[in-house]
């Protein structure tokens, strides 16, 4: 997508043809991640307009002081900047170009920050279709678990119109810990593929390490306390290692294994397109499959540790 579109429809001063601040943010998709974005934005002083098919999600937003739009089109009409957090390409297409989609409302130059994780080619295509409708599409997948988003420790990779990114940076900073502009539309999704590769490998590595340590007679709580602070530490060992140490994988949303299944397919297909070896990830993917086969897919992804325990013949009670 070209950076030639000016950004309009936001209140504030004009810098290089675009305006530098906003007051009302439309969040489309108020699930495990989008609901957290909305809460952080309201705490930062923004007005938030939410849109979601799940009435419980919109009711929760209203209870916390947000407003509700009946459709993406209405959200575009009433908000100045839009953020999407959706589970699939079909959902995102419906929100952008569907009957009541964003492009049928709003205004010329309106910015959409899309935080979904999809194929690079799908993001490029959506960027072009959004641009052809006179809107500005920022490909901006988020990297982080829901607890990381809740604690403002997640990272956003942003690609697309750089001027639009600069305008949106205060908004982005309100619901993330770090953010990076990485280039044209599609490049952020490439970066997210790399991040998800590491999430998958490091989660399984943490599980295998935890089980190896327990079989050696070490206390799992001690393992989690010590290892993240050394050279072998990782974000997944720190974040998901806590679940593993406690053998407590309860997770209210229960969709994280569906997400890793989708992301694993994206990673594997993209690596195949580029003829790039991903041997470690391919092995990790089989361990996730084992966890699903054990009926653990309603739990947090850290439950992969239980699959490793079963394979290792290690008996340990799991919090139900």
Q: How many helices (H) and strands (E) does the chain have?
A: 13, 11
Cβ neighbour number for residue 18 with a 10 Å cutoff: 21
Cα Rg, the chain, nearest whole Å: 21
104 close to 75: Cβ distance less than 8 angstroms: no
Is 192 marked active-site? yes
Q: What b/e readout covers 173-182, taking b as 16+ CB neighbours within 10 angstroms?
A: ebbbeebebb
What is the distance between the alpha carbons of residues 168 and 22, in angstroms, rounded to a whole number? 8
**Residue found by looking up tokens 């361990």 in the block:** 287
Question: DSSP assignment of 23-39, as one string?
Answer: SEEEEE--STTHHHHHH
Q: Which of 43, 192, 215, 246 is catalytic?
A: 192
Cβ neighbour number for residue 112 with a 10 Å cutoff: 30
**Any idea which residues carry the catalytic annotation?**
192
């Amino acid at each position: 997508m070209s950076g030639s579109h000016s950004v309009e429809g936001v209140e504030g001063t004009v810098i290089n043809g675009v305006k530098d601040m906003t007051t009302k943010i439309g969040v489309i998709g108020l699930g495990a991640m989008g609901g957290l974005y909305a809460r952080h934005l309201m705490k930062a002083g923004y007005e938030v307009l939410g849109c979601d098919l799940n009435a419980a999600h919109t009711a929760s937003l209203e209870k916390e002081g947000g407003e509700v739009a009946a459709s993406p089109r209405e959200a575009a009409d009433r908000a100045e900047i839009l953020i999407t957090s959706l589970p699939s390409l079909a959902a995102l297409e419906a929100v952008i170009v569907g009957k009541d989609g964003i492009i049928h409302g709003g205004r010329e130059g309106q910015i959409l920050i899309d935080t979904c994780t999809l194929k690079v080619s799908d993001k490029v295509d959506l960027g072009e279709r959004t641009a052809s409708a006179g809107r500005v599409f920022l490909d901006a997948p988020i990297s982080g678990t829901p607890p990381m988003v809740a604690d403002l420790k997640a990272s956003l990779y942003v690609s697309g119109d750089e001027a639009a990114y600069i305008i949106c940076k205060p908004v982005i900073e309100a619901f993330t810990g770090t953010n990076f502009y990485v280039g044209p539309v599609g490049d952020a999704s490439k970066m997210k593929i790399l991040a998800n590769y590491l999430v998958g490998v490091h989660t399984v590595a943490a599980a295998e390490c935890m089980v190896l340590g327990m079989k050696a007679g070490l206390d799992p709580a001690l393992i989690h306390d010590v290892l993240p602070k050394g050279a072998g530490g990782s974000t997944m060992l720190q974040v998901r290692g806590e679940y593993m140490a406690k053998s407590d994988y309860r997770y209210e949303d229960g969709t994280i294994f569906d997400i890793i299944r989708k992301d694993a397919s994206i990673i594997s297909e993209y690596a195949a397109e580029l003829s790039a070896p991903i041997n470690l990830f391919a092995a990790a993917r089989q361990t996730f499959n084992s966890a699903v086969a054990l009926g653990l897919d309603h739990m947090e992804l850290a439950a992969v540790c239980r699959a490793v325990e079963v394979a290792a013949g290690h008996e340990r009670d799991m919090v139900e």
